[in-house]
Chains A and B, each alone.
Chain A
Amino acid sequence: MAQYLALVYSADVDWFAPEQAEELAEYRRFQDDNAGLITASAVLHPTSTATVVRVEGARGGKVVTTDGPYAETKEALTGYYLVEAEDLEAAIAIAQQIPSAWNGAVEVRPVIRAR
């Protein structure tokens, strides 16, 4: 089995807002349907809560933090799933059930495994 990270790109929403309840339930359904294959997952607060950190020059240099999203886009990274799959087609079969696949996009990336 290989591991893939399915990055969830969707509207930049606050998942705790009551109007998101219905969509959140769809994500729960996806998780229940694929429970054995999902090894880790996270839901993210909106990008308005994000902080970008940079260190100037090299390690130990001046720390510069900036508020807000790194780049303003229509779709934002709002969560991820780490899934186990035999090959890319199996991974796509899982990813296509994630609600953002039809309300945004899912990016499937193979994970490097230690040899």
Chain B
Amino acid sequence: MEPGHDAVAETVRVEGTRILATLIRTVGDVQLAEDAVQEATLAALGAWPVTGVPPEPRAWMTVTARRKAIDIIRRERARADKERDSTRLIELGRTDIVPAAVVQDDLLRLIFTCCHPALSPPTRVALALRTLCGLSPTQIAGVMLTTEAATAKRLTRARQKIAAARIPYRVPPEAELPERLPAVCGVVHSLYTSGHAPVEGQTAYDVDVCAEAIRLAELLHELLPEQQMPTAVLALLLLTEARRPARLDADGDVVTLDQQDRSRWDNAAIARGIDLLNDSLLRSNQQADAYQLQAAIAAEHARAATYDTTDWTEILRLYELLVSVAPSPAADLGLAVAAAEAKDTTAGLALLSELTPSPRWHAVRAELLARDHRYDEAVGELTKALEGPSTDAERRHRERRLELFRAAAD
């Protein structure tokens, strides 16, 4: 691959998603707009490595995509609605560049359409990755741990439903935002989680899912700065991402929180995350939501200069609130760990005994048992944890701990 190709491909992908939203509104059809942008993308990828990236790449791609859309509409004209096409062709024939404010409105429309509650949660994620991040079905399949064929089918069905059931291409009125934002924020958050804490396998795909999720979170916050939920999601993602470089060592092995080199944390991102969290909390007049609570927990960890100065009592309080507003297996495990740190291992083990076992549950239980020098039992738990799915780094970490506990048990 010639040098600079990646940079060109990245520009093409990002610009492609920026112009797609406006094109969908103009042509009124997700599939047609995607096809036109796809053709413009291919044209750019063919031309730019030779001619260089034009001074205004977005303008170049906008004009090219409009021309491609005109071609597609003309090709399909025989069987289409002629009157509607005439107005579309006039609109597409314009050569002016869409003003930034219009692009922002179109992006919001696209976000709310892709994340419409009438679509299933995995479909929302797949659509967002396709239209808002510009990923290919192969890349999306890698992110969502499924096959390319299944992803392509899911996307086709989603486009058909949007068209046939007439899911509107519009931003909900202000009063409906509290109802509609959880679905949108859920897509961004689950996307980040799938990159940050995958359930199994190596992180082999060529996409930085965490970076894509943060890009979406930044976009959503930029478009709806007054809304507490997108602000909290961005805060949570930044506070988590800030500590990501320290989670793996040079060999790609897991480094647990107590062992992490905190100088590798991104202090600028932590400061910004805390500011955003405070801003979000100021805007809310009721009980903190799940994103605010998770961001607050991440902020407590990020604030502590050393593991020993972590305020576990406050973290335990936040987890108790989180479990009551948004129970989840991850929150339950977090609560047990916080109880073990803030009180003692007995408290942590008691909370664990109420939960359904999973590989992570077994791994947490093993660590707590080992603290009480119950190494035989810890070995048993880790053996069970290793029977289930895990990421490669997680597996290596558990194998090392298993050896350690075995030696201690003898």
Binding site for B on A (CB under 8 A): 2, 4, 86-89, 92, 108-110, 112, 115
Contacts and interface: CB of A to CB of B under 8 A. Distances in A.
Interface of B: 81, 116, 118, 164-168
Contacts of B167: 87-89
Contacts of A86: 166, 168
Contacts of A87: 166-168
Given A88-B118, A115-B81, A110 B168 contact: no
Contact of A2 (B81, B116, B118, B166): B166
B161 to A, nearest CB: 9
B297 to A, nearest CB: 36
Contacts of B116: 88
B81 A89 contact: no
A109 B165 CA distance: 7
A110 B166 contact: yes
A92 B167 CA distance: 11
Contacts of A108: 165
Given A86-B166, A86-B168, 7 more contacts: A4-B165, A87-B168, A88-B118, A88-B166, A89-B167, A108-B165, A112-B164
17 contacts: A2-B166, A86-B166, A86-B168, A87-B168, A88-B118, A88-B165, A88-B166, A88-B167, A88-B168, A89-B167, A89-B168, A92-B118, A108-B165, A109-B165, A110-B164, A110-B166, A115-B81
A72 B101 CA distance: 55
Contacts of A115: 81
A57 B81 CA distance: 40
Contacts of A112: 164
The 4 lowest CB-CB distance pairs between A and B, nearest first, are A87-B166, A87-B168, A110-B165, A88-B165
Nearest to B81: A115
Nearest to B80: A115
A9 B375 CA distance: 56
Nearest to B118: A88
A115 B84 CA distance: 13
A7 to B, nearest CB: 14
Contacts of A110: 164-166
A80 to B, nearest CB: 17
Nearest to A112: B164
Contacts of B81: 115
B71 to A, nearest CB: 22
- Most chain-A CB neighbours within 10 Å: which of B116, B118, B166? B166
A115 to B, nearest CB: 7
Contacts of B166: 2, 86-88, 110
Contacts of B168: 86-89
Contacts of B118: 88, 92
A41 B168 CA distance: 25
A107 to B, nearest CB: 12
Nearest to B169: A87
A5 B166 CA distance: 14
A92 B118 CA distance: 10
Contacts of B165: 4, 88, 108-110
- Most chain-B CB neighbours within 10 Å: which of A4, A86, A87, A89? A89
A102 B166 CA distance: 24
Contacts of B164: 110, 112
A110 B81 CA distance: 19
A109 B164 CA distance: 9
A8 B168 CA distance: 24
Nearest to B176: A89
A59 to B, nearest CB: 29
B81 to A, nearest CB: 7
A89 to B, nearest CB: 6
A110 B160 CA distance: 11
A31 B401 CA distance: 66
A2 B167 CA distance: 11
Contacts of A89: 167-168
A17 B310 CA distance: 66
Nearest to A1: B166
A2 B168 CA distance: 12
Nearest to B116: A88
Nearest to A89: B168
A110 to B, nearest CB: 5
B183 to A, nearest CB: 13
Contacts of A4: 165
A89 B113 CA distance: 11
A2 B166 CA distance: 8
- Most chain-B CB neighbours within 10 Å: which of A88, A109, A112? A88
A109 B81 CA distance: 23
A109 B166 CA distance: 11
A89 B168 CA distance: 7
A88 B168 CA distance: 7
